[in-house]
Structure 1
């Protein structure tokens, strides 16, 4: 019992820190599992074709017998195969996470505490953000926006990245709602009206 309470407290601290920092600790936060699955399939397929082609070049007898000037090409092909292998591993991770997250949904009830746009480091003062993140010549801040909802749940404050405008429209500050979310990436599939406790 005490270990569960301790782990819950640790989760609250991590969650508080990530909310303050303006980031999500979930992999591919808020992405639709079907889209993630499709991206993973495409990425793994492309990586497989490129690795097959690269290994074919390495096995080709013409390259190995052409002298020193083409050994650099061989090294380049080896680097390409390694980089593409990492991209293939990333695609496989997307495929697996998308497949696992495709069907199960968890119902989370709570009161909407915050609904607004976030980007990494937005807790910092404006001049610090500008100095760190703005491009020097254009002055534009190219950090990606993330739409975040924070609920006050029985387990404490919890946040999710919301990518659907339809779901965002159903989130009103201080209203009680029930979110239908996927367990890993935290995809918010649906929002329904909830009831206040008691």
Structure 2
């Protein structure tokens, strides 16, 4: 992976974490156990510290950055969707930040809360635990149900499983020139059960 020290501060990646080779880590970045950092994600610890605690995931093309002498923190099982931008904020345990959402300076996403896709969480906003926020700017829409919190946790477990799969089998290869008759499909994983559950009656929006 592109990994850079700055002012002699070197990123730290736990051996049980998976960081995609195209992700970029700079400076004071600490990636904890069982974490997943996706393709083209950028974690820029060139001003403040960035910390991912156990089981967190930061997905494809996310940007994480912060201010001097302040931490940008994603706690245990934090779940950061594709393309999200986090700047000098805190995402508490088991919280989710949706795809392409923005969370600004000194905002705090409470434990088990969810930030909807494309939401804009303004500076210093405190999102209460187990609530859904959405909109530009983000506003609290409602409390989350037990089923929604459990569904989020299941989605995070999918990425924890992907961490293990990636460590075991992800490798760079040359593409094939054509589809072979015996082409395999991917093995059954936790995501199969998750998608099946979302498609079941009563699991709509």
Q: Give TM-score, length-normalised by structure 2.
A: 0.20
Instruction: Give the strand-richer structure, 1 or 2.
Output: 2
Structure showing greater Rg: 1
Instruction: Give the helix-richer structure, 1 or 2.
Output: 1
Q: Give TM-score, length-normalised by structure 1.
A: 0.20
